[in-house]
Structure formats: C-alpha cells, structure tokens
Amino acid sequence: MRVSTGLRIGIICAIVLLLIPGCPRTKEIPLPDQSYGEFVVNGTRLTFGLTLPQGYTPGQPVPLILALHYGGSGEYYGKAFALNLVEPALRDLSAIVISPDCPGSGWANPTSESLVMALVAHIMSRYAIDTRRVLVTGYSLGAIGSWYLAARQPQVFTAAIPISGSAMSGAENLLGKIICPVYVIHSRNDEIFPVLAIETLVEKLRGWGIAIHLEIITGLSHYQTTGFVPYLRAAIPWIKQVWGE
C-alpha cells in the first residue's frame, strides 16, 4: 500500500513528538539569502544550512537530503561541509539540502537525534518534500550519524550514504534495523577507519539481508574530503534507482 506524502509527514511529526519530551516549541530565523537559519526546540538552539534547488516551487515536491558534517564545530560549520561536498556532488537531484551543526559531541545519540529529527520534521512541514525520496549522508563523524539515523529512523530515510566512516562501536545489533538501501563510499587509504573493518561490516549486514553497495576507492586520505565529490556524484544513478526514478 502506498502511503501519501501528507500522511508520511504526519507520521514523522508524531514520532518527533515522542522523541522530545513535552510539546516542542520551534522557530526558524532564516537570513535574507535563505541559506542559513537557526531552529529552537525547548530552548535549545540548532543552527543549520539550507539550500533550495534551482526553480523550487511549493507545488512540486522535491527530495530532501540531510547532510551530517565531519568532526569539528562552529556556527554554520555544517553549511560549509555541505558546500564543499554534498551540494556540488548531488546538485543534479534537485533536492533541498539541510546541513545542521552537530548539537553535541556526535550525531549518534538520543539528544542529537531528537534535535535533528525535529528539524527534519519542521522542514517537511514548511517545504514541499517527497517523503519517498529522503536521503541521509555524512562524512566521518557524519557517516557514523548516517548509519545511526538510518537504523533509528527507518520510517523517514529511504536511502543512506555513509562516507569514510563506520558505525559506532557495539552498534551492530542496531544496524540490523536498517531497511533502506545503503551506499557506502570508502578509501583504501583511510587512516582513521581501516577499509578491512568497513568490508567486514558490509558483509555482515548483507548477510542479514540489508541491501548495501560498497564503493571502494583508492588514492584519497581521510582528510581529502573534497576529493570525494566525484565519487558521491557517481552514486546518483543508484539513488534514482532506489527511488524508482
């Protein structure tokens, strides 16, 4: 049975209410170019980047991409990450891209999850989003978050692309809850996350019936983030196939 976009958004918003104690009080304060904003949930401030696709109109639902940045902090740090990697790589998807700043020490914890998912629900309620086309992606620390949210929010994300990062230690049972297809990008030259560990993880998850494509590349270190742009762009045909385009 196909679930309508409106019903899916309603379900997502209801789940967010369960994640955040009490009724979340939120507001968005975009700057004039609509590229940056801040979002307040129960007194907690979350800054984020926002990019609308060229020619966006409210009457035409578009995909949504949640981009999770690597380690580091600073106001609109996530927007800088998205500008350097996600937006140039996935521009042809004509998606709305939201790139929050990590609200804590990492993405893979209940506090960060509740704030980020509140932002996702808010964007879905404000813009025309095709809820059948919602992607989570991230690099390094953001890849850990991508694995985590793909497993924790299977009713929201329909595809996931973790880049240069593994799952949290001891999180294998959680990953068994992933239902969306996953496209993993990793370099053999990664100094932080050994490629053998990624290959082992992927094979285990495949054994559990999870659909995973593993793209191993060579010649890039963990810190050459922008060098991954063409490899993330090369995932577009896979994304479109997953989304039934």
At 242, the amino acid letter reads: V
CA 197 to chain centroid: 22
**E strands present in 103-165:** 129-139, 159-163
CA dihedral of residues 106, 107, 108, 113 (deg, nearest 10) = 130
Average pLDDT (144-152) is 96
Task: Give tens-digit pLDDT for 43-81.
Answer: 889 999 999 998 999 889 999 999 999 999 888 999 999
Residue 104 pLDDT: 86
Name the CATH code of domain 5-242 (choices 3.40.630.30, 1.10.287.3510, 3.10.129.10, 3.40.50.1820): 3.40.50.1820
Contact 141, 69 (CB under 8 A): yes
Q: Is the pTM of this model over 0.75?
A: yes
Return d(Cα 70, Cα 139) in angstroms, integer.
5
Q: Which residues have C-beta within 8 Å of that of residue 42, sequence separation ≥ 6?
A: 20, 21, 22, 24, 25
Task: Give tens-digit pLDDT for 188-207.
Answer: 999 999 999 999 999 999 99
- Ordered by start, the domain boundaries in the chain are 5-242
How would residue 5 be classed by pLDDT, with cut points 50, 70 and 90? low
Q: Which of 180, 215, 168 is nearest to 195 (CA)?
A: 215
Return d(Cα 151, Cα 90) in angstroms, integer.
23
